[in-house]
Amino acid sequence: MSESVKAFFSEEQQHVIVEAIRRAELMTSGEIRVHLDGSCQGDPVRKAIAVFRWLKMHKTAQRNGVLIYLAVKDSKFAVIGDKGINTHVRNDFWDTVRDSMHGHFVQGTFVEGLVSGIDTLATELSVNFPYQEDDVDELPNEISFGDGK
CB burial class (10 A; 0-12, 13-18, 19+) of residue 113? buried
Shortest Å, Cβ 43 to Ca ion: 26
Shortest Å, Cβ 42 to Ca ion: 28
Residue choice 76, 139, 143, 147 for contact with Ca ion (CB under 5 A): 139
For residue 131, the tally of other CB atoms under 10 A from its CB is 15
Do the beta carbons of residue 38 and residue 74 sit within 8 Å? no
Tell which positions 22-81 bind Ca ion, by CB under 5 A.
31
Tell which positions 98-137 bind Ca ion, by CB under 5 A.
135, 137
DSSP strand E in 101-145: where?
143-145
Shortest Å, Cβ 24 to Ca ion: 9
List of residues contacting Ca ion (CB under 5 A):
31, 135, 137, 139, 141
